[in-house]
Amino acid sequence: MGDGRRKKWLNVTDAQESMEAEELGLLSRRGSRGELMVPQPYCRIYTRNTKEVAGFNGLGETLKKLDFINAVHDIRRFRYICKLMDLLITQKLSTLSGGAQKMLFGMLEEVAYEVTSSQQNVHVLQHLLQELRKRLEDYLWGNKLGSAILWEQHSRRLQDIHAIATTIKIQQPGDDMHPTLQEVPEECIREILKRLDNHNDIRAAGEAYSLMAKVSEEKSIWRLLCRFHWTPAQIEHVILMHKELQVQKNWRKVYDRLRRTYGLREEYAEKLCLCRNCSCMFWETYGHPCRNDTDPSATIEDHLEEVKSDSIIYISITPQQFLKYFHL
């Protein structure tokens, strides 16, 4: 990865300049090198869910103010952002403004650099690239995505991002690295699989080697996965509706039925939140300086404590709910 790209990520100055002064708070955090001042991204939005009012919320500008570009490199926010990108690519690409499209491609490029650096979530990057390439090819035979110039820019940028993705090589641990996966006790392997929240991850883990394959087929793994995603009432309802599941309760088949019926529960380490006190959207960990505060001398730490107290109500926003605040 080029030094220039890494400096762009590490230096938050560019992100700060894209925000108006009153839209950027500074959050004091203590790190290994002393007290650091880091950006506290947030954005006030119109919350009335009508086409007329939703039009006042600009998606591209909101993504900038919430610092999505740099947030890609935060492991806690990575999954949330990639889910939002997937929705934009597969459902909203043709309705995005030119600025929002450029932001989307910028975020995808940062995902490529992050995956290259961390050597994790390669499948996520491949999925996003595949879906975006498919959509652009569809527009090639129909109406172009925006102006001809913008469409050409998108095509070239997608090629550049694909070139980054092709350079990813997973480095194998050296022979002197112990313990290897094969040396880990079966009890530990079982505990690892129990902490996975996605069937694809469990099945992929089962392909690693024979012991994982055996453990991944255990009914306790799939029973625990069912109980994580659905309520006891939902599980009981699906079993009662399908007699074959009553005769032999195969928890893997129960899981597949539940997934097709109810979908999966979405869990994110870090989420966007909406403050009902001042209509600001912000990242949960970073908080926001609430605009309705009456004490001008209050510190950022005081604001954070208020935001997390019961006196101010804020709600978590899923990627699907986030898009409803924009006229797309």
Domain ranges across the chain? 17-59+270-328, 186-262
Is residue 307 predicted with pLDDT exceeding 90? no
Average pLDDT of 91-97? 90
Residue 314 φ then ψ, to 5°: -135, 150
Confidence category of residue 312, pLDDT binned at 50, 70, 90 = low
For 211, the 3-state DSSP assignment is: helix
Structure tokens at 113: 């650099």
Average pLDDT of 227-251? 91
Mean pLDDT over the full length of the chain:
81
Can you tell me the distance from the alpha carbon of 225 to that of 205, in angstroms, rounded to the nearest whole number?
15
For tokens 């999505």, the residue is: 68
Confidence category of residue 50, pLDDT binned at 50, 70, 90 = low
Closest CA to 298 of 308, 290, 287, 309: 290
Amino acid at 197: D
Structure tokens at 225: 């996965």
C-alpha torsion 86→90→93→94, nearest 10: -170
Task: Please count the other Cβ atoms lying within 10 Å of the Cβ belonging to residue 118.
Answer: 12
Confidence category of residue 26, pLDDT binned at 50, 70, 90 = very low
**In contact, 254 and 267? CB cutoff 8 Å:** no
The 10s digit of each residue's pLDDT in 265-298 is 988 999 999 998 888 999 998 888 886 654 555 5
pTM listed for this prediction: 0.77
DSSP code, position 2: -
Can you tell me the distance from the alpha carbon of 78 to that of 195, in angstroms, rounded to the nearest whole number?
19
Pairing of strands 272-275, 24-31: unpaired
Least confident of 32-41, 129-138, 191-200, 274-283: 32-41
Cβ neighbours of residue 264 under 8 Å, at least 6 residues apart? Answer: 198, 229
Confidence category of residue 260, pLDDT binned at 50, 70, 90 = very high
Structure tokens at 41: 């991204």
Helix runs in 195-230, H state only: 199-206, 210-216, 219-229
